[in-house]
Amino acid sequence: MPDTPTRVPALYGGTPVRSAPLPGGTRFGADELNELREALEQGTLFYHFGGKVKAFARRFAEMHGAPGAVATSSGTAALHVAVGCLDLPPGSEVITSPVTDYGTVIGLLYQGLVPVFADLDPASGLLTPETVEAALSERTGAVLAVHLAGNPCDLSGLAALCERRGIALLEDCAQAYLAQHRGRRVGTFGRFGCFSTNDYKHISTGDGGLVLVRDPADLPLATAFADKNYRRDQQGGMRRVERLAPNVRMTELQGAVGLAQLRRLPEIVSRRRAFGDALRARLQNLPGVTPMRVREGNTCSYWFFTLHLEAQALRCDRDTFAAALRAEGLPVRPGAYLEAPLYRTPLFEQQSAFAGTRYPFDLAPQRPAHCPGAEHYLANTVILEVSEFYDDTVLEDVVEGVTRVSHFFAR
């Protein structure tokens, strides 16, 4: 059955590997509806008086063996809460990845902190202890690791580095639900682990986020920071606010849907993992292309899957390779995860976060970011969509299509 490598790709008139539509499905059902009805019947949609948001956060923490979690209005807000709890003075630097959602850095900037972009391993798009070490300075207050695509960073290495330097480790796990490093779930290595439940993620509450805490003492801090720094747990002194904090509370409606979604999460992740792991195994030894690398001892939750092209070994550029896979009827996203690393966006190039000032960048002047590994990653990566609704026919078609296209373009 193996495809004869010389078959003409669909891009040049051959018959596409797949003509059937990609399998889909519904993400919400009777369980969500039932939870929503219960939420409404409480007579309040405020997290502090209702039970859904609290149960959602508690259940999520239990799944991680963590002492608690705080639910927020978005993943961006979850990250903002984590960063706010560090109580770093404005002008402190936070080392993070230049290939991530903008939400990773929004809270930093609102807190007057300066994102410092460390380079990435070009084969995985992840920060490494070495690249983070190279970005450290006297002003570094924290490291914010991003588990891109659901692929865990070297968390033991990063945790050891942060420990040695006496700085905090935060984890952006928005794409990495239930992924593991050395048998332990991501989000439990850093002081805080932040998740998103926006509509694109493994589970959705429309919008929403979660902050896992490792230290029980951080639970009231994070709860307060998400809620104007009100201390609803303290009699009398609730509004004796000392530090600025936003209102990024989750509503009971989101919490209700989240509770039902959490019950689906293990199955969603295991289906994606089976698909991604099988693809990685089956796409070895093709000319000019290697599947994404997941470090030994880690498990990935595959928010998406990446193929890495070796430009010298192929007679085509990245976009042509991707177009050829798309023409085969495969779920290939045009372009990389980002058009350019974050430091190439106007906000960073012009230091224009706030009108009429270079704040906070003027507090910690930087040399221009230099991340050749990140740029190589973006320029040479093709993204394959992953879905919990994909079946073995998609797997077989992707293997056949990538095999056909890589042999066709091989030098």
Ligand X SMILES: *Cc1c(COP(=O)(O)O)cnc(C)c1O
The residues of the shown chain that bind ligand X, judged by CB under 6 A, are 74-76, 100-101, 103-104, 146, 172, 174-175, 196, 198, 207, 209
Which CB sits closer to ligand X, 18 or 249?
A: 249
Instruction: Give the number of C-alpha atoms closer than 13 A to the C-alpha of residue 14, restricted to the C-beta side.
Output: 23
Q: CB 298 → ligand X: shortest distance, Å? A: 17
Q: Is 54 an active-site residue?
A: no
DSSP one-letter string for 125-188: TB--HHHHHHH--TTEEEEEEE-GGG----HHHHHHHHHHHT-EEEEE-TT-TT-EETTEETTS
Which CB sits closer to ligand X, 171 or 328?
A: 171
Q: CB 275 → ligand X: shortest distance, Å? A: 19
Cα-based distances in Å from 31 to 63, 237, 331, 333: 19, 39, 29, 32
What is the arrangement of strands in the sheet containing 332-333, beginning at the earlier edge strand? 289-291, 304-309, 381-385, 332-333
Which CB sits closer to ligand X, 104 or 298?
A: 104
Which CB sits closer to ligand X, 47 or 408?
A: 47
Residue nearest ligand X, CB atom distance: 75
Q: CB 104 → ligand X: shortest distance, Å? A: 5
Which CB sits closer to ligand X, 119 or 171?
A: 171
Helix ranges (DSSP H) in 42-154? 52-63, 75-85, 103-110, 129-135
Q: CB 196 → ligand X: shortest distance, Å? A: 3
DSSP structural state of residue 121: B
Q: CB 74 → ligand X: shortest distance, Å? A: 4
If phi > 0 it is left, if psi is from -120 to 50 it is alpha, else beta; for residue 65 that is left
Strand duo 93-96 + 140-146: pairing: parallel
Residues annotated as catalytic (active site), given as ranges: 201
